[in-house]
Structure 1
Amino acid sequence: MSRLNPILAGSAQSTEAYRQAIAQSSEAVAQWLQQPEMYQGKTVAELRERITLDFNPQGLGNQAAIERAIEYFLKDSLAVHHPQCVAHLHCPSLVVSQAAEVLINATNQSMDSWDQSPSATIIEMKLIEWLRTQVGYQPGDAGVFTSGGTQSNLMGLMLARDAFFARQGHSIQQDGLVGNLKKIRVLCSEHAHFSVQKNMALLGLGYQSVTLVKTDRFSRMDLNDLQEKLAQAEANGEQILAIVATAGTTDAGAIDPLRAIAELAAERQIWVHVDAAWGGALLLSEKYRDYLDGLELVDSITLDFHKQFFQTISCGAFLLKEARHYELMRYQAAYLNSEFDEAQGVPNLVSKSLQTTRRFDALKLWMGLEALGQKQYAEIIDHGVTLAQEVAQYVSEQPSLELVMQPQLASVLFRYRTQQLSDAGDTALALFNQKIGDVLLESGRANVGVTEADGVTCLKLTLLNPTVTLEDIKVLLALVEKTAEQIAA
């Protein structure tokens, strides 16, 4: 055991092994960051063949294990910092976020009870207080850091469900689901994140409970159709458990009319949850903060910091407008959040989370805000939105490129289209654009998204990288056109 120094501890031998392992790994990362390719271009089959789990009974030692990880993982990883890597809501990370990971991993705090994470608990609570202030909520600390948008959406829908039944005098926590569940509905836009359906299935109400509301030409929830769907539900004897609004749809970056939705829901006492996993970054914006008008009116909010806040995965948060709703999920365990602790004012965050053991991911956001300051943070968030507008203008000027939708956040939807392709029909045009995306990734030169917008297959640029310029995107678009010409030939 002494040869491998397997446990991080305070001994001289352990700390020296730690320094060596971190130095070896960080030097490998520094070299990897300099590689010109976005991806080494290996296929699924090639990676299956290449990667083997060859565990030595005696162990290889730290140095050899790290060398194997560099060879089989790092070198074949996608370079998300590369200017041509623009397919997904998958951001490059702040340098200070990487530093935060070192502190998080070394200390290995668990956020379920104060006695496992004393300073970390207080920092997270203060960050939640600060985030609530940014939203416009009343002072308080009702909220928690999460693994990301899907988990935060689950929390919003679960508390909406439990509050819905509590108003009818029934405790889901104690007695489970009752009544005619087929008559319960959740409304969201047809472009809402798939986790709405996924989470309603997890909550025992199924996909059938989700009613999709039509959207306008910018993929935003249509208020007229929302009112019609509400009227239809009432006429059918159905009850609305919640309305899920989206602030930043995955493809178009569309933000639903939050204020109008909240006002409609308030008239009917319907819970509103906003999935602001992407658009929530505009809380810090100096140019586009008004896009989130009305956010302060809703019951719960999803935020993600591993998107346009540029934090390492994973880092998200859930905010709850009224702390009293946390009582719907409270559970006391003597070994974590005892009544004695609570009587002494000891904060144990397990009461606020779906997780028990949980990483101190809040440190990354705190260090990011401290390192950059709000003004610089606002600038790098706004950069992507402004760049998307510039790219859209450029695309619209190119004869063989067609802008599919005006950008709203930091994404651009477009397609390659010539007269010859148009004459070949919609199916041929769709397949051709799909092929462009596939060929670019296979070549390792670029990762461009392929998606659909109102039935139109298109290419997507998600411009989350604050170091990318319009000139970088012009190079990428030239590569798209060159690839298209090669495919056509």
Structure 2
Amino acid sequence: MSSLPPLAGGVHGPVALRPLVDTVLDALRDGAEARGGPLPRGGPDAVAHRVREVCEPLFPERGIGDDAAVRALVRVLAEGAADPAEPLCAAHLHCPPLAVATAADLAVSALNPSLDSWDQAPAASELETLVVEALAAEVYGTGRTPAPGGIVTTGGTEANQLALLLGRETLGPVQVVCGGNSHHSVARGAWMLGLPPARVLPTPRGVLDPDAVTEALDRIDGPALVVATGGTTDAGLIDPLPRIADLCAAHGARFHVDAAYGGGLLFSDILRPRVDGIARADTVTLDLHKLGWQPVAAGLLTVRAPGDLDTLAHQADYLNADDDTEAGLPDLLGRSPRTTRRPDILKIAVTLKALGRTGLATLVDQVCAHARDFADLVAAHPAFDLYAPPTISTVLFRPRDADDDHIASVRRTLLDGGHAVLGRARADGRLWLKATLLNPHIRPGDLTALLNLVEGHTPR
């Protein structure tokens, strides 16, 4: 009779994991070398063919063994990856994760705690409390009574939807007011929660106009929730948060800031003023798998009045029986609408401890400086137009003499060839290429190479 496969946890888990970790690392290296750039060549059909070829058969009658399966599938995944650690992979708010955070994430996978009851995650539940308190203090400051709180989320989408949920439970069926620059999860969240359709205000200059917000609030009969954006997905722009906070206070409206992108500026003494006014929000979305260099997922919703979270309280006898809670076992079920929850907090905690404020600030300052440098290259180039100087680390640019169809074609050509990964955004009625620079290891030559690639593939 064959032996049972080993487990990852327990005293003997590390012994079983060590050779497999070496296999993973070798396969990651081999896959990256085979890829040879930021993206696999050949487009969707070529990638799909390679994956299917390696997987056939995916579920054999007899398995091929741990090492062979790990080696084959990790390698094909790495070979077919859009690797944000590659300097020319700069399309999305998708960061290259720190090695230290990734290493910490391995421990979570091995231990496999679940944050829905204390007896499944004793230490992780306390660590979550400490990290949430620390990050809420970054948003709202220290010394507040009661101390601000928060909820760990899968990212900005879940955090925004929870912000709307808390608004509804606090004020009743609120009218959501947001800008056309807001993340799609805001309007979608209003729909999912059965709220009136979000009132989406035009943002012709890319940010919310306080006068338009005033006009909208004056017309609303009933409670309102205004959503401002601290770092738009398309251009990295920041709404005028202090002005909007004043308007919300004057109209008795609830105020949420989606700072999934720009929240990372809070770590930087130099750039923090760009999100002034954020501490006046009732709720704030943060997302550390953007300007926090965490593996997905690493979201957070911070709450200025922690009592607002009481609405999430829930009782299930097998998880938080009343007598267990009265006996002192922490009740975790109200910390999230999710039941089973992976403790994503460990990688964040390790990062905060390892880098400290100055280490994270250095990374934030570095990528924003890269964006300014790239914008300067674009502005100085006679064949390109720059949309605007970057507010965070996103640069919109376009070949001067190309129409929208050609610009879209250039982007797809670079993707198919595996040369570069650029995003796209529509602003001022035109299509722009988008470079989102989140890799602190980018060098000046990488920025020049990116611009040269676009120029070389632009039809003349």
TM-score (norm 2): 0.93
How many equivalent pairs are there? 452
Partner residue in 2 for 1:404: 387
| Equivalence map 1:84-483=2 (5 Å) | 84-137=88-141, 138=144, 140=147, 142-165=149-172, 185-205=175-195, 209-215=197-203, 217=205, 219-233=206-220, 238-418=221-401, 421=402, 429-483=403-457
Kindly state the Cα deviation for residue 474 of structure 1 after the two structures are TM-superposed. Answer: 1.0
Partner residue in 1 for 2:63: 59
Q: Distance in 2 between matches of 1:15 and 1:352?
A: 31
Give the conservation status (yes or no) of the 8 Å contact 1:384–1:464: yes
Partner residue in 2 for 1:24: 23
Gaps of 5+ in 2: none
Seen in structure 2, the aligned counterparts of structure 1 residues 34 and 376 have a Cα distance that, compared at 3 Å, is: farther
Q: Distance in 2 between matches of 1:2 and 1:405?
A: 64
Give the conservation status (yes or no) of the 8 Å contact 1:125–1:141: no
Partner residue in 1 for 2:40: 40
For the residue of structure 1 that corresponds to 2:284, the secondary structure is strand
Seen in structure 2, the aligned counterparts of structure 1 residues 23 and 269 have a Cα distance that, compared at 3 Å, is: same
For the residue of structure 1 that corresponds to 2:175, the secondary structure is strand
Kindly state the Cα deviation for residue 378 of structure 1 after the two structures are TM-superposed. Answer: 0.1
Name which of structure 1's ranges 320-329 and 359-368 shifts more when overlaid on structure 2.
320-329
Counterpart amino acid of residue 224 in structure 1: D
Instruction: Encode CA deviations 1:242-284: one digit per residue, 9 max, x unaligned.
Output: 1111100001111111122122112222111111100000110
State the Cα RMSD in Å: 1.9
Counterpart amino acid of residue 97 in structure 2: S
For the residue of structure 2 that corresponds to 1:252, the secondary structure is coil
Seen in structure 2, the aligned counterparts of structure 1 residues 439 and 4 have a Cα distance that, compared at 3 Å, is: farther
For the residue of structure 2 that corresponds to 1:277, the secondary structure is coil
Q: Distance in 1 between matches of 2:234 and 2:446?
A: 21
Q: Distance in 1 between matches of 2:327 and 2:256?
A: 33
Kindly state the Cα deviation for residue 350 of structure 1 after the two structures are TM-superposed. Answer: 2.0
Seen in structure 2, the aligned counterparts of structure 1 residues 2 and 320 have a Cα distance that, compared at 3 Å, is: farther
Q: Distance in 1 between matches of 2:261 and 2:322?
A: 38
Counterpart amino acid of residue 290 in structure 1: P
For the residue of structure 1 that corresponds to 2:89, the secondary structure is coil
Kindly state the Cα deviation for residue 337 of structure 1 after the two structures are TM-superposed. Answer: 2.1
Identity of aligned residues (%): 35
Seen in structure 2, the aligned counterparts of structure 1 residues 141 and 211 have a Cα distance that, compared at 3 Å, is: closer
Q: Distance in 1 between matches of 2:75 and 2:312?
A: 45
Gaps of 5+ in 1: 166-180, 422-428
Q: Distance in 1 between matches of 2:164 and 2:373?
A: 37
TM-score (norm 1): 0.88
Instruction: Encode CA deviations 1:18-64: one digit per residue, 9 max, x unaligned.
Output: 22211111222234455632222132223333333521122221112
Counterpart amino acid of residue 324 in structure 2: D
Counterpart amino acid of residue 75 in structure 1: E
For the residue of structure 1 that corresponds to 2:387, the secondary structure is strand
Seen in structure 2, the aligned counterparts of structure 1 residues 9 and 347 have a Cα distance that, compared at 3 Å, is: closer
Q: Distance in 2 between matches of 1:30 and 1:141?
A: 43
Kindly state the Cα deviation for residue 4 of structure 1 after the two structures are TM-superposed. Answer: 5.7
Q: Distance in 1 between matches of 2:335 and 2:253?
A: 22
